[in-house]
């Protein structure tokens, strides 16, 4: 695993890549950072990390970045389904946990908003896999591992209405 740091307007971000794809993007100090894995990681300068930094530069400049860096998402099949569905939420849009659960049920499978919330909360590639675009049924900004103030700042930067 290769890692790098990115200094964002919302705090320092830890980036991690593995097998030619981004596998982690966490705000320093947020919930669910795999500290044990990162302690074994090598500080490196690789193509995926550099592409991710350029994407973040564009994003934090208030622009909608083109495409996304290559991803190497690691998790249970259910979590990966949830994270892939998050990638379908347009820039500047929001969706509730319940609405996301309904989208995941299109294929006839069943899942609850609570199960979706668990998967969203453990998203290892925040911002790029836009878990910050998921809100509570009442419009509240809940459940962001990087903190609700950051979630609000990200949605404000995207000019999202919630």
Sequence-separated (6 or more) residues with CB below 8 Å from residue 139: 162
Pairing of strands 11-18, 95-96: unpaired
Q: Which of 131, 134, 135, 155 is catalytic?
A: 131
Q: What is the 3-state secondary structure (H, E, C) of 28-79?
A: CCCCCCCHHHHHCCEECCCHHHHHHHHHHHHHHCCCCCCCCCCECCCCCHHH
| Residue 112 backbone phi and psi in degrees, to 5 | -100, 160
Pairing of strands 21-27, 11-18: antiparallel
Residue 23 a catalytic site member: no
Tokens matching residue 92:
């500047």
The answer to whether 27 touches 10, Cβ cutoff 8 Å, is yes
Q: Which residues are catalytic?
A: 131
């Amino acid at each position: 695993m290769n890692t790098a740091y990115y200094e964002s307007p919302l705090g320092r971000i830890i980036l991690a890549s593995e097998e030619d794809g981004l596998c982690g993007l966490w705000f320093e100090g947020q919930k669910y950072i795999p500290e044990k894995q990162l302690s074994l990681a090598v500080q490196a300068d690789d193509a995926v990390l550099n592409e991710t930094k350029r994407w973040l530069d564009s994003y934090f400049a208030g622009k909608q970045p083109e495409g996304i860096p290559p991803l190497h998402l690691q998790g249970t099949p259910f979590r990966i389904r949830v994270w892939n569905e998050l990638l379908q939420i347009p820039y500047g849009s929001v969706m509730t946990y319940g609405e996301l659960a309904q989208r995941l049920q299109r294929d006839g499978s069943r899942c609850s908003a609570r199960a979706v919330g668990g998967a969203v909360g453990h998203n290892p590639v925040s911002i790029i896999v836009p878990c910050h675009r998921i809100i509570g049924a009442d419009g509240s900004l809940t459940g962001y591992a990087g903190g609700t103030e950051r979630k609000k700042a990200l949605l404000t930067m995207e000019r999202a209405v919630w």
